[in-house]
């Protein structure tokens, strides 16, 4: 092909497509948080369709796993606590199974039955449980009392009043799923986040994505920035949903041993391949604190941790120290 012809073809066919190629950004409120997606695509119309499919997938998971939506499978499990087992779909069954496994790995720091006490908190209305209701409900926090029946694919919460909530793992699960969906739809470069759970697909142009970790006590300020490529990061912080009463910070991460907000650290970020794991582990390490938390992550080669403790001191897992 002659040089001039090639040049003309470039001008007519390729150049306009390159001009149209651009970053697309959309944000929606789903799962009680802000869900954001940024991705690269060369076709505006196609990109709109991809964004719609992305948010539809997020909403599908919300409908399945929300403890507030009466038609959700999770709602049905809680409603039948101490009464009867509930058969559920494979997806929720597997996530509950994984939550129990993580409960074992973290010696109960991660416990989805925290909700048996967790529902007594109302952060918007500044309500925390009094000593009596805390004592009455605390025995109901015990993930070992979630009875799974693989044959029937059913779940029974052994005692009346027990509740489960997947707030510490479902967003990460949803992020993994949504990123896989983007890949299936041909996207090779994207950043997806649901609240504190973020996953980077590919690079941001020629460079890795740059992820900022929030300073837990200075709103809008960054404590640290990290380059990311094809990996996930989750941050759990005591500044996300909280109120302060009589000098005590009541926030949304509950120590299953006490039924009260965990107070050893201000923020935990976990980095690794799977968002479902970084999500659950960030919540777990927040409860475990610096010493036990780092010990846990240092024996998991695929995951790294960055902790900001209650005195604002930074701590890194061995893999991050080595870099
Ligand atoms: P994250 O922001 O990912 O750390 O998740 C915090 C959410 O996890 C809370 O809003 C609760 O829904 C849930 N959660 C709180 N404490 C625990 C716990 N000890 N184990 C499992 N999930 C928890
Ligand atoms: Mg988490």
In tens, the pLDDT along 98-115 reads: 999 999 999 999 999 999
Which pLDDT score is estimated for 215? 97
Could you tell me which residues come within 8 angstroms of residue 74 by beta carbon, excluding any fewer than 6 positions away?
64, 65, 66, 67, 92, 164, 165, 166
* Helices 170-184 and 44-65, axial angle in degrees (round to 10): 150
114 lines ligand 1 (CB under 6 A): yes
Contact 65, 72 (CB under 8 A): yes
Residue 20, pLDDT above cutoff 90: no
Contact 180, 201 (CB under 8 A): no
| Percent with pLDDT over 90 in the chain | 93
142 lines ligand 1 (CB under 6 A): no
Residues whose Cβ atom is located within 5 A of ion ligand 2: 168, 234, 236, 279, 282-283
Gap between the Cα atoms of 251 and 262, Å rounded: 8
Which pLDDT score is estimated for 322? 81
Gap between the Cα atoms of 18 and 29, Å rounded: 32
Residue 6, pLDDT above cutoff 90: no
Strand partners, 40: 23
Which pLDDT score is estimated for 299? 97
How many other C-beta atoms can be found within 10 angstroms of the C-beta atom of residue 214? Answer: 20
Gap between the Cα atoms of 300 and 323, Å rounded: 17
Which pLDDT score is estimated for 2? 63
State CA 18 to chain mean position distance.
35
Which pLDDT score is estimated for 116? 97
Gap between the Cα atoms of 258 and 83, Å rounded: 26
Mean pLDDT, to the nearest integer, of 245-267? Answer: 97
254 lines ligand 1 (CB under 6 A): yes
Contact 157, 139 (CB under 8 A): no
Mean pLDDT, to the nearest integer, of 5-30? Answer: 70
Q: Tell me the ligand closest to 168's alpha carbon.
A: 1
Least confident of 15-19, 41-45, 203-207: 15-19
Gap between the Cα atoms of 255 and 302, Å rounded: 25
Mean pLDDT, to the nearest integer, of 298-318? Answer: 97
Structure tokens at 95: 């996530």
Ligand 1 atom showing the smallest separation from residue 110 Cα:
20
Mutating to test ligand 1, I would choose from 96, 108, 197, 254 the residue with most ligand atoms within 8 A of its C-beta, which is: 254
In tens, the pLDDT along 177-225 reads: 999 999 999 999 999 999 999 999 999 999 999 999 999 999 999 999 9
Burial of 322 (0-12, 13-18, 19+ CB in 10 A): exposed
Contact 242, 249 (CB under 8 A): yes
- How far is ligand 1, taken at its centre, from the CA of residue 284, in Å? 8
Sign of the Cα pseudo-torsion (289, 99, 192, 42, in order)? positive
Mutating to test ligand 1, I would choose from 34, 105, 114 the residue with most ligand atoms within 8 A of its C-beta, which is: 114
pLDDT band at 62 (very low <50, low <70, confident <90, very high): very high
What's the predicted TM-score (pTM) here? 0.93
- How far is ligand 1, taken at its centre, from the CA of residue 48, in Å? 33
Per the prediction, the chain carries an average pLDDT of: 94
Residue 174, pLDDT above cutoff 80: yes
196 lines ligand 1 (CB under 6 A): yes
Mean pLDDT, to the nearest integer, of 121-127? Answer: 96
- How far is ligand 2, taken at its centre, from the CA of residue 217, in Å? 19
Mean pLDDT, to the nearest integer, of 243-263? Answer: 97
Mean pLDDT, to the nearest integer, of 244-261? Answer: 97
Cα-based torsion angle of the residue sequence 264, 269, 273, 279 in order, rounded to the nearest 10 degrees: 60
Mean pLDDT, to the nearest integer, of 157-171? Answer: 98
272 lines ligand 1 (CB under 6 A): no
């Amino acid at each position: 092909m002659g040089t001039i012809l090639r040049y003309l073809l470039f001008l007519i066919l390729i150049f306009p497509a390159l001009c149209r190629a651009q970053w697309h950004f959309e944000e929606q409120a789903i799962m009680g948080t802000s869900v954001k997606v940024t991705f690269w695509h060369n076709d505006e119309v196609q990109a709109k369709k991809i964004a719609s499919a992305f948010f539809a997938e997020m909403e599908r998971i919300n409908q399945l796993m929300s403890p507030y939506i009466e038609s959700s499978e999770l709602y049905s499990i809680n409603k039948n606590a101490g009464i009867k087992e509930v058969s559920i779909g494979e997806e929720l069954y597997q996530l509950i199974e994984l939550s129990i496994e993580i409960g074992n790995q973290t010696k109960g720091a991660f416990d989805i039955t925290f909700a048996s006490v967790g529902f007594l908190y109302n952060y918007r209305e500044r309500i925390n449980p009094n000593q009596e209701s805390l004592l009455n409900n605390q025995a109901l926090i015990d993930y070992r009392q979630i009875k799974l029946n693989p044959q029937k694919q059913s779940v029974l919460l052994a005692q009346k009043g027990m509740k489960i909530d997947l707030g510490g793992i479902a967003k990460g699960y949803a992020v993994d799923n949504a990123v896989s969906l983007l890949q299936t739809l041909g996207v090779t470069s994207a950043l997806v986040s649901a609240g504190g759970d973020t996953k980077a697909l590919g690079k941001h142009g020629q460079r890795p994505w740059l992820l900022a970790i929030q300073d837990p006590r200075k709103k809008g300020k960054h404590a640290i920035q990290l380059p990311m490529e094809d990996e996930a990061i989750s941050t759990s912080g005591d500044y996300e949903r909280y109120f302060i009463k009589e000098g005590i910070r009541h926030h949304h991460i509950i120590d299953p041993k006490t039924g009260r907000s965990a107070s050893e650290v201000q923020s935990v970020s976990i980095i690794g391949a799977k968002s479902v794991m970084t999500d659950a582990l960030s919540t777990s390490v927040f409860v475990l604190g610096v010493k036990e938390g780092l010990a846990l992550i240092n024996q998991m080669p695929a995951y790294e941790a960055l902790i900001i403790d209650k005195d604002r001191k930074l701590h890194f897992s061995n893999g991050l120290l080595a870099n």
